[in-house]
Structure 1
Amino acid sequence: MEAFDGIAEGEKISLLGNEPFWGAKIADGTLTWSTPDNIDGETVPITRFSGNNGLGFSGEVSGEVIQVAVTPGECNDGMSDRTYPFTATITLGDRQLEGCGYTDKQSFDGPENP
């Protein structure tokens, strides 16, 4: 089985979730993790790997291991009228967070500013 190639190496990936709110931007070998308590976010180096059904990233944010899984599939954040092309699962320390994602080449459907 071939590794997932649905997101090119140079694409910038944006991920978001709510309850609790969080955001992640992945570009050029780094991840910027943001929350309402840290709007500007923390930028850390990450490792990218392709699995059978999506991409994975791993690194460390504020001393906690972060693992990110991005998989293709229609996703709605529940807060806007947007539909995203990817789902995101984040493990940060002992917490698991769910969200949606898009890239600079594979955008969401719906309003730009909901």
Structure 2
Amino acid sequence: MNLRHFPILLGLVWVTACSGGSGDAPGASATASYDGIAAGETVHYTGTEPFWGGAAAGGMATYETPDNPGGSEFPVERFSGNNGIGFSGRLKGASFDMTITPGACSDGMSDRTYPYTATLMLGGEQRLGCAWTDSQPFSGPETP
């Protein structure tokens, strides 16, 4: 994927998530929102280069780095698109926009396989990673 197109793709996910189908062009059918992750589930995410991670649930998210191992907590809004979910908020003044989409994912550093990919736009920086939930865990060693 060409990274300069990511903001456009993220915008399309957002528009798809916010569109209820009514008011679309005549004859257009509504697309069901993604329901593979229940609204009450905690979504965990992790990435490398640079190392980052955290979790989101109940309108709050955490974001951790090696420089901030305890993480920062902040409010987020969750939305469902047609092929995943997203979380949007502000982390220390920077926009935090994350999409979680189904698909086998490897962090490249362990023997784990995750059920979701995570794409994060933090301010103007894109970060790629993997995600899982408590009911849909990663496979592989508990401690990489």
Instruction: Provide the residue aligned with 1:18 in structure 2.
Output: 48
Calculate percent identity across the aligned residue pairs. Answer: 54
Q: CA deviation at 1:22?
A: 0.3
Higher RCO (C-alpha 8 Å, min separation 6): 1
* Post-superposition CA distance 1:43-78 (Å, at most 9, x none): 000000000110011000011010010000000000
Which residue, 68, 73, 86 being the options, matches 1:56?
86
Distance in 2 of aligned mates of 1:101 and 1:68 = 11
* TM-score scaled by length of structure 2: 0.78
1:74 equivalent to 2:104? Answer: yes
Q: Secondary structure at the residue paired with 1:99?
A: strand
Distance in 1 of aligned mates of 2:126 and 2:37 = 23
Structure 2: 5+ residue stretches without partners: 1-30
Instruction: Provide the residue aligned with 2:134 in structure 1.
Output: 104
The list of structure 1 runs, each at least 4 consecutive aligned residues, that deviate by more than 6 angstroms after superposition, is none
Instruction: Provide the residue aligned with 1:38 in structure 2.
Output: 68
1:95 equivalent to 2:125? Answer: yes
Q: CA deviation at 1:32?
A: 0.3
Larger Rg: 2
1:27 equivalent to 2:27? Answer: no
Q: How many residues align?
A: 114
Distance in 1 of aligned mates of 2:117 and 2:54 = 13
* TM-score scaled by length of structure 1: 0.98
* Post-superposition CA distance 1:2-53 (Å, at most 9, x none): 0000000111110000010000211211000111110001100000000011
Q: Secondary structure at the residue paired with 2:143?
A: coil
